[in-house]
Amino acid sequence: MIGLSPGLRDALQNWLDRLSALDGASAHTLDAYRQDVAGFLSFLAGHHGGSAGVQQLGAITQSDMRAWMAAARGDGLGARSLARKLSAVKSFARWMAEREGFDISAILAARPPKYSRSLPRPLCAESAFDMIETVPLQTRADWTGLRDAAVVTLLYGCGLRISEALGLTGRDAPLGDSLRIRGKGGRERLVPVLPAARASVAAYLRACPHHRVPDAPLFRGVRGGPLNRRHIARVMEAVRLQLGLPASATPHALRHSFATHLLAAGGDLRAIQELLGHASLASTQVYTAVDASRLMDIYDAAHPRARV
C-alpha cells in the first residue's frame, strides 16, 4: 500500500476486520476489497504528489474521482470491474465518514460506468440430465465416478455452488429431506434435497473406500483428502466436449439451470432467492431475463410470422 499513512493503513485494516466479523465476508472478498481501496488511496497519493492520510480522504473532490476513474479505464480496466472498485471505495468512505465526521459527498456522487449485465447461460433440462449421466463414465474407478455424479447432481438438483457442495462434511450424511448450507457472507439457508440427489450421494458413500469422518469432507479425493474443485471442472469439460455442449457448460451453469428451470415451471421468485441464498432479489431477477430471452428464441424459431 504505497503512499498511505500509518493511520490510513490501520483504518483500512479495521474496516476489513469489521467486514469479516460482522458481515461474514470471505477471505477472497476481503482480499479484493483491500486491493480495490488500497489502489484507490495509492492513486490519490501519487495524484497529489504526497502520502494519503485520513484527512486527505475528507478533502477528495469530484475532479479527483474523475481522474482516478479515467486512469483506471486508461489502464484497461473494464466497466464492470471499475464499478466493483467504486462500490468498495464508497463503502470504505462511508465507514470512515461515520468515524471521522468529514464530508464524502464527492465520493458518493461518483457514478459507476454503464455496462451490460451478462445473462446466465443455463443448460436445457435434457442437456443437464445427459451431463449427470455421462459424468461417472469419465473415471476408471467406480467409486470416483459415483462421487463425481453425486457432486453434479447436488449442483443441479439443489442449486448449490461448487464450494458449497465440496464444503459438505461427514456430519451432513446421510442426506435428509433438506440441507443446511452456509453460503456467501455466512448466510445460512435450508435447501430441499431431491430423492435423486439423496440416492446419488448414498451410492457414492456405499462405494467410497474412505471411512466417513464427521469433520472430514464428504467428497474425498483418491488419497482421501478433500476433492479439488478443479477436478469437477475438468470432468465437466470432458463431458461437454463429448456431448457437444457449449463452453458455458460449467459447474456453475448447473446452478443457473436449477434456478432457470424452477422459474420456467412457475416457481416463485422470492422462494428461488431463498433457495439460491442470494442476499438481494436483484441477483435472482436476472433469471427472469433469461427466461424471457428463451421464450423469444422459441418464438423466433416457431412462429410462422417470425420466419416471413
Q: Give the cell for residue 241.
A: 466436449
Residue 304 has pLDDT above 70, yes or no: no
User: Residue 188 belongs to what H/E stretch?
Assistant: strand 188-192
| Same domain for 208 and 261 | yes
Average pLDDT over residues 102-115: 84
Q: Which of 263, 259, 254 is nearest to 292 (CA)?
A: 263
114: in domain: no
189: in domain: yes
Weakest-pLDDT range from 88-97, 113-122, 127-136, 138-147: 113-122
| Same domain for 192 and 272 | yes
What CATH number does residue 16 fall under? 1.10.150
Question: Domain limits at 228?
Answer: 125-301
Domain C-terminal end among 109, 141, 157: 109
Q: Give the model confidence (pLDDT) of 47-64 as tens digits.
A: 877 666 667 777 888 999
Eight-class DSSP state of 304:
G
Residues assigned a catalytic role: 161, 184, 252, 255, 278, 287
Q: Give the cell for residue 245.
A: 455442449
Residue 28 has pLDDT above 70, yes or no: yes
Domain C-terminal end among 109, 141, 171: 109
Residue 306 has pLDDT above 50, yes or no: no
Q: Give the cell for residue 284.
A: 435472482
100: in domain: yes
Other residues' Cβ atoms within 10 Å of the Cβ of residue 150: 28
Domain C-terminal end among 77, 109, 141: 109
136: in domain: yes
Say how far apart CA 265 and CA 260 lie, in whole Å.
9
| Same domain for 151 and 290 | yes
1: in domain: no
List residues bridging with 180 in a β-sheet.
190
159: in domain: yes
pTM of the model: 0.62
Q: Give the model confidence (pLDDT) of 208-228 as tens digits.
A: 999 999 999 999 999 999 999
Q: Give the model confidence (pLDDT) of 259-300 as tens digits.
A: 888 877 777 777 777 777 766 666 666 666 555 555 445 445
The percentage of residues in the chain with a pLDDT greater than 70, rounded to a whole number, is 84
129: in domain: yes
Counts for the chain of helices (H) and strands (E), in that order: 14, 2
Say how far apart CA 38 and CA 42 lie, in whole Å.
6
Structural domains of the chain, count = 2
Instruction: Give the pLDDT band of residue 232 (cuts 50, 70, 90).
Output: very high
Q: Helices 125-134 & 229-243, crossing angle to 10 degrees?
A: 110
3-state secondary structure of 117: coil
Say how far apart CA 262 and CA 268 lie, in whole Å.
8
| Same domain for 154 and 57 | no
Q: Give the cell for residue 156.
A: 443441479
25: in domain: yes
